[in-house]
Amino acid sequence: MSEEQPQETESTEEIALAPGLAKALQSTDDNSGDRGRRRSGPDPLASLRTWQPRTRLGRMVMNGQILTYEEALSSGLPIREVEIVDALLPDVTDDVLAVNMIQRMTDSGRRVRFNVLCVVGNGDGYVGLSVCKGKEVASTIRKAIDKAKLNMIPVMRGNGSWESSEGPGTSVPFMVTGRSGSTRITLMPAPAGKGLVIGDYGRRVLTLAGVTDVWSRSSGQTRTTINFAKATFNALVELNKTRLTDGDHRRLSIVKGRELS
């Protein structure tokens, strides 16, 4: 008499995907039936669908071992692929601050190149800045955006103004100064609702960084677009170099990076 063996059911466990990868695959399924619809431009998630990781960190993101940008930073591995940032932070937006034409006279004739200043950020604690040069505007802008994504830093925000009440920090926790060339930008804590009291290019950098209230003081050649934006970005870099105690973090309501719930 043969004993009946229980049928083995293969349990297929779904692998957790990073937010950007899940969004890219979901958009493919949603658009599978829309063959006749015209697209307004290139699909920003197309590179994630055909992404083949070349670094150890990229393979960990693809396999679902790392699902957030904070885990990627804490791993200690360098971020050398733009697709890693697109997969972990799909809500990153870019802003081209300036496109300058550079002309140089050579023996063969006039040589024209373009200088592009670009800033990227998610508006919630991460921002990156880059300057790139190239022969064509479109390719140089693309290169500047990719370089800015690889140069992203976490932004320290806090409630350091004596005029503010207790609550989450929307400004810088303390006064800090950034420098680029002869331009110096000093960021000072401001109460909630004050807004960004700074020049236009500094305001655009702080907006993508997630800072909504700040006082500022500037000196030097502030009309230089690149130095003004770089000085503002360097001031945010200096915030991360300051050593603070746990009591300072609680007293100033400091948040570094995204506000994760």
Write the DSSP assignment of the chain as a string of letters. -PPPPPPPPP--PPPP--HHHHHHHHHHHHTSS--SPPPSS--TTHHHHT----SHHHHHHHTTS--SHHHHHHT------HHHHHHH-TT-EEEEEEEEEEEEEETTEEEEEEEEEEEEE-SSSEEEEEEEEESSHHHHHHHHHHHHHHT-EEPEEB---TTS-SS---B-SS-EEEEETTEEEEEE---TT--B-S-HHHHHHHHHHT---BEEEEES-TT-HHHHHHHHHHHHHHHHTS---HHHHHHHT-EES----
Q: What was the pLDDT predicted at 141?
A: 94
Tens-digit pLDDT profile for residues 194-217: 899 999 999 999 999 999 999 999
Q: What was the pLDDT predicted at 43?
A: 63
* 139 shares its domain with 227: no
CATH number at residue 113: 3.30.160.20
* 237 shares its domain with 160: yes
For residue 245, being part of any structural domain is answered with yes
Domain residue limits at 227: 156-256
For residue 134, being part of any structural domain is answered with yes
* 24 shares its domain with 64: yes
For residue 12, being part of any structural domain is answered with no
Taking residues 160-178, what's their average pLDDT?
Answer: 83
CA distance 26 to 176: 43
* 168 shares its domain with 251: yes
* 235 shares its domain with 188: yes
Tens-digit pLDDT profile for residues 23-54: 888 866 555 544 444 444 456 678 888 889 99
* 75 shares its domain with 114: no
Q: What was the pLDDT predicted at 10?
A: 46
Q: What was the pLDDT predicted at 24?
A: 84
* 54 shares its domain with 141: no
For residue 62, being part of any structural domain is answered with yes
* 180 shares its domain with 214: yes
* 140 shares its domain with 197: no
Position with higher pLDDT, 10 vs 65:
65
Q: Which of these, 85, 75, 171, lies nearest to 130 by C-alpha position? A: 85
CA distance 176 to 216: 10
For residue 4, being part of any structural domain is answered with no
Range in 18-22, 83-87, 182-186 the model is least confident about: 18-22
Range in 97-101, 114-118, 153-157, 246-250 the model is least confident about: 246-250
Q: Which of 153, 169, 199 is the last residue of a domain?
A: 153
Taking residues 242-257, what's their average pLDDT?
Answer: 86
For residue 69, being part of any structural domain is answered with yes
CB 197 within 8 A of CB 215: yes
For residue 243, being part of any structural domain is answered with yes
* 124 shares its domain with 214: no
Q: Which of these, 169, 145, 150, lies nearest to 159 by C-alpha position? A: 169
Position with higher pLDDT, 114 vs 258:
114
Taking residues 127-150, what's their average pLDDT?
Answer: 94
* 160 shares its domain with 181: yes
Q: What was the pLDDT predicted at 42?
A: 54
Of 18-22, 110-114, 235-239, 243-247, where does the model show the most confidence?
235-239
* 220 shares its domain with 186: yes
Q: What was the pLDDT predicted at 3?
A: 53
For residue 10, being part of any structural domain is answered with no
